[in-house]
Amino acid sequence: MTRFELHFYKHLNRYRRLIQILSVLFIFIVPLLNKAGMHAIIGTFYSVSIGQLDIVDPALVLQNLLLTKEIHFPLLLAGIIPLVITLFFGKVFCSWICPFNLLAEFADKLRKKIRPKTIRAKNQNAKPQYYWLVFGSIISVAAVSGIPVITLTSMPGLISGQVADLIFYGAVGMELSIVLLILLLEVFFWPRFWCKYACPVGAVLALLRGKNTLAIQYDAHICANNCPVNLKKVSLCNAACPLQLNPRQKGIYPYCYNCGACIEACFNKGGKSIWFTFHPQETKTNKSGS
């Protein structure tokens, strides 16, 4: 492992927060520039155009195909950039860019403070079938009813749109209450359910997982032999995961969004048993793992 990688893994969260803050700045600065008469960059997290370059959320491209049943070529082209990024790096949009995830992470910190009993990390990962079942239902509702469900439930889009409204008119619409409702449900009932199970934007990105997509790799052998802390009491990577996944067990995908919190937790305690890789091997189930 190179020095650069070591440094990156040890400070992963700091880099991630930096990009998240830049993304929040982005959704404020774009409408401010538009208001000042500069239209070089326009758009929200539904769709952005930078000069002549069009970028559209792939989930919305899929929704448009389903709803209109016709192919609009510029729209397909606009979906390519996020598609390629996701094919290489996985759902990094969710963990590194999405403003809702940032809000939800802070809401989760609040949950851990006011409901300490819910902190206990889960040992087993949920079956991927649940994930696809939820996404399948959302897509079916959209296709049958003709209602653009993904648009209406895209948290990054709603948030960035409301920020634009705030800047243009000094007021926000009641759409923002959907975001607040989900955050409240996450704090008081089901921790992080939106990003983990429900979000259709993330689900379309999860569909794009290939064989060589960036993945979390865990090595039980290194973990058992070289770990400086006693893992029988607490598994650092498991406790660090914002989506309550256990990277020491199989099946973190399609849920995992490659935020790297587990890697940082491991490396900061001197461990080296979990890392990012483009050539993932199957995780061997660790019987003693918790």
Partner 1 sequence: MLLDLLNKLVSARYPLRPPGAVKEDAFLQKCIRCRRCEEACPYDSIKMAHGDWGLKMGTPFIYPTAVPCYLCSDWPCINACPTGALEAVGEKENVKMGEAAIDETTCFAYNGIICRACYERCPIYTVAITLKEELYPVVHKEHCVGCGICEQVCPTDPKSIVVFSAHR
Please give the residue ranges that form the binding site for partner 1 (CB under 8 A): 30-31, 34, 37, 39, 42-44, 46-47, 49, 54, 56-57, 60, 63-64, 67-68, 72, 74-75, 78, 144-148, 151-152, 157, 161, 164-165, 168, 173-175, 177
Minimum separation from the CB atom of position 193 to partner 1 (A)? 23
Minimum separation from the CB atom of position 59 to partner 1 (A)? 10
Q: Which of 165, 2, 197, 181 is nearest to 103 (CA)?
A: 181
Minimum separation from the CB atom of position 258 to partner 1 (A)? 26
- Using the minimum distance from each CB to partner 1, give the nearer residue, 84 or 152: 152
Residue bearing tokens 């979000």: 199
- Using the minimum distance from each CB to partner 1, give the nearer residue, 60 or 216: 60
From CA 88, how far away is CA 137, in angstroms rounded? 27
Phi, psi of 275 (to 5 degrees): -160, 170
- Using the minimum distance from each CB to partner 1, give the nearer residue, 156 or 247: 156
Minimum separation from the CB atom of position 30 to partner 1 (A)? 7
Minimum separation from the CB atom of position 158 to partner 1 (A)? 8
- Using the minimum distance from each CB to partner 1, give the nearer residue, 159 or 223: 159
Identify the helix (H) or strand (E) that includes residue 217.
Answer: strand 215-218
Q: How far is CA 234 from CA 75, 111, 178, 211, 239, in A?
A: 48, 20, 36, 31, 8
Which amino acid makes up residue 12?
L
CB contact set of 199 (below 8 Å; sequence gap of 6+): 94, 153, 155
CB contact set of 225 (below 8 Å; sequence gap of 6+): none
- Using the minimum distance from each CB to partner 1, give the nearer residue, 75 or 222: 75
